[in-house]
């Protein structure tokens, strides 16, 4: 049952508790398991992957079954309907069009005295995509991760996803991977997949950047391997914060809250509204929609632990509380969403107006659905093409340009107590 809170201090404390849900003690002890898994994969490679796949996914694999075969990939096309294939293709086109709009471009600038400065962008050599598969299959996540990697020009795109019953992978996931240009797919999930991508095993190549969302085990593992590899952000258990006013439809608001709650028992669903009556209607409607919900047990847990309806005095206060929470998804189901937008500072993705349910962004609007959670939107952003690229600075000085600044460099080097730095410039200056 969604709880209603009307008192500001209590609301703040509750938002803080929900935001920190992946850091509380019931979750933090999982880090010990994740560390153990990572170390085992580092030491034993494939053997550890097979062991943990048996333990956590209940599937007994042989090493040669880790990589998805060409015949499985071909067969997947026969197993998806034309309607689903068309939807995957529509999503691919829209997501690609969005990501192509802002591909970083290398540049050089020619200054005085033949000084050349610039930035040269290059893709990483190998990217690893994590596609969740524990409680749901995510062909949309395949597209959201593979397309920006492809647009960035990454030559080798490696994907890991956990095996389902009978070692199978969801055919829509396999089709989406082929449509988006993934080069190889491995049936392994959880922390063990992240460790394999970070350190490599006999079968799985190590990569330079790992992207993609996942449950708490995946998210903790990404945090722990960061540094050995780059990561996108901590895109953990999903969350939505809806700011709604009296014109919002309570049935729609309830559906949007449940749409995130149904991902994971650690998912969060928050309503903030200046209309106490709307809050009561949404609470009743959440119960109503849960009654027949096919994922009721899981979704109810998320709503009970991390669901709340907060009644505030104004939309300005709603924006202030939302900024403190920094949600992954923020919906503005209010009459004038663009008027409130300037007051919103932290959110992974913002959905404006009543006709923009968050699911539009999940599947095919174009912007990436892999987004920072648990407050990470204060400093991190949606997955983008840039994550798969890095840039090198370019610097060229002519003799004349060097002569002009040599003295300043020497003074700075001496101030830092680094004589060879000064000497490297002085020697050149004296030869000019
Ligand atoms: N933030 C985002 O952008 C975004 C996008 C899509 C999905 N998500 C989130 O991704 C997550 C998907 O989670 P999921 O569970 O369905 O799939 P998942 O693939 O992330 O996790 C399944 C894996 O977890 C591991 N695991 C399960 N129980 C374990 C245990 N007791 N000990 C160690 N490892 C264990 C297993 O290896 C299994 O393969 C959800 O939290 C969802 O909200 C987030
Ligand atoms: N809502 C998820 C991001 O937290 C993305 C997703 C994929 N499929 C459905 N939803």
197-242: pLDDT as tens digits: 999 999 999 999 999 999 999 999 999 999 999 999 999 999 999 9
Identify whether the C-beta of residue 241 lies closer than 8 Å to the C-beta of residue 84: no
**Fold topology of 3-21+237-365:** Rossmann fold (3.40.50)
Identify whether the C-beta of residue 274 lies closer than 8 Å to the C-beta of residue 245: yes
Instruction: Kindly state the percentage of the chain with pLDDT values over 70.
Output: 99
Of the candidate ranges 17-21, 27-31, 139-143, 165-169, the one whose mean pLDDT is the lowest = 27-31
CB-defined site of ligand 2, < 6 Å: 138, 140-141, 238, 328, 362, 369
263 Cβ closer than 6 Å to some ligand 1 atom: yes
pLDDT digit string (tens) for 72-110? Answer: 999 999 999 999 999 999 999 999 999 999 899 999 999
Q: Is 328 known to be catalytic? A: yes
Of 99, 208, 263, 329, catalytic: 329
CA dist 211 and 100 (Å) reads: 18
**Residue whose CA is closest, atom 38 of ligand 1?**
190
The band of 1, judged by pLDDT with boundaries at 50, 70 and 90, is confident
Ligand nearest to the CA of 133: 1
Averaged pLDDT, 267-278:
98
CA of 368 to the centre of ligand 2 (A): 10
The band of 24, judged by pLDDT with boundaries at 50, 70 and 90, is confident
Tokens of 336: 């004038």
- For the chain, give every domain's residue range: 3-21+237-365, 32-235, 404-431
pTM: 0.96
CA dist 118 and 391 (Å) reads: 10
Structure ipTM: 0.98
Same fold flag, 3-21+237-365 and 32-235: yes
Residues 6+ apart with CB under 8 A from 43: none
pLDDT value of residue 29: 82
CA distances from 188 to 52, 67, 259, 372 (A): 9, 9, 26, 23
Average pLDDT, the chain: 97
Of 300, 328, 333, 410, catalytic: 328
116-123 and 107-110: which strand pairing?
antiparallel
Rounded to 5°, angle at Cα 30 from 13 and 307:
35
Of 3.40.50.1980, 2.40.50.100, 3.30.70.270, 3.40.50.10470, the CATH number of 32-235 is: 3.40.50.1980
pLDDT value of residue 304: 97
pLDDT digit string (tens) for 285-300? Answer: 999 999 999 999 999 9
CA dist 142 and 176 (Å) reads: 6
CA distances from 141 to 97, 168, 206, 382, 426 (A): 16, 18, 21, 13, 55
pLDDT digit string (tens) for 100-159? Answer: 998 999 999 999 999 999 999 999 999 999 999 989 999 999 999 999 999 999 999 999
**Residue whose CA is closest, atom 30 of ligand 1?**
56
CA of 135 to the centre of ligand 1 (A): 7
Averaged pLDDT, 318-323:
98
Averaged pLDDT, 233-254:
96
Q: Has residue 25 got a pLDDT over 70?
A: no
Rounded to 5°, angle at Cα 298 from 292 and 302:
105
pLDDT value of residue 22: 86
Q: Has residue 39 got a pLDDT over 80?
A: yes
Closest alpha carbon to 309 in 344, 351, 281: 281
CA dist 275 and 242 (Å) reads: 13
**β-bridge partners, 123:** 389
């Amino acid at each position: 049952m969604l709880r209603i809170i009307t008192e500001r201090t209590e609301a703040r404390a509750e938002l803080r508790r929900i935001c920190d849900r992946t850091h509380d003690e019931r979750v933090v002890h999982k880090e010990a398991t994740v560390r153990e898994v990572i170390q085992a994969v580092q030491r034993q490679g494939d053997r550890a992957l097979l062991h943990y796949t048996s333990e956590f996914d209940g599937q007994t694999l042989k090493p040669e079954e880790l990589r998805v075969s060409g015949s499985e990939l071909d067969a997947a096309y026969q197993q998806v309907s034309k309607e689903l294939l068309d939807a995957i293709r529509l999503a691919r086109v829209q997501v690609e069009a969005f990501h192509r709009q802002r591909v970083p471009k290398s540049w050089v600038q020619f200054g005085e005295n033949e000084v050349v400065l610039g930035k040269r962008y290059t893709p990483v050599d190998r990217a690893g995509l994590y596609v969740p598969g524990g409680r749901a299959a995510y062909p949309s996540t395949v597209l959201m991760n593979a397309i920006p990697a492809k647009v960035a020009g990454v030559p080798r795109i490696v994907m890991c996803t956990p095996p389902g019953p009978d070692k199978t992978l969801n055919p829509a996931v396999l089709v989406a991977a082929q449509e988006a240009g993934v080069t190889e797919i491995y049936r392994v999930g959880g922390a063990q997949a992240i460790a394999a991508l970070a350190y490599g095993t006999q079968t799985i190549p190590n990569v330079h950047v790992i992207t993609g969302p996942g449950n708490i085990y995946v998210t903790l593992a990404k945090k722990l391997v960061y540094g050995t590899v780059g990561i996108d952000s901590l895109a953990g258990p999903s969350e939505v914060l809806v700011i709604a006013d009296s014109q919002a439809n309570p049935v729609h608001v309830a559906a949007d809250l449940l749409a995130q709650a149904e991902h994971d028992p650690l998912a969060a669903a928050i309503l903030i509204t200046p209309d106490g009556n709307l809050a009561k209607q949404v609470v009743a409607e959440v119960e109503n929609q849960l009654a027949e919900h096919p994922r009721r047990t899981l979704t109810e847990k998320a709503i009970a632990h991390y669901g709340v309806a907060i009644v505030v005095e104004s939309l300005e206060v709603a924006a202030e509380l939302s900024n403190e929470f920094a949600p992954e998804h923020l919906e503005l189901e209010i009459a004038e969403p663009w008027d409130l937008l300037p007051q919103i500072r932290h959110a992974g993705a913002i959905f404006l107006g009543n006709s923009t349910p968050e699911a539009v962004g999940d599947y095919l609007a174009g912007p990436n659905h892999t987004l920072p959670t648990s407050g990470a939107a204060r400093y991190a952003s949606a997955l983008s093409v840039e994550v798969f690229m890095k840039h090198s600075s370019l610097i060229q000085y002519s003799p004349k340009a060097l002569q002009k600044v040599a003295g300043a460099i020497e003074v700075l080097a001496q101030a830092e107590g680094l004589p060879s730095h000064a000497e490297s410039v002085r020697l050149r200056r004296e030869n000019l």
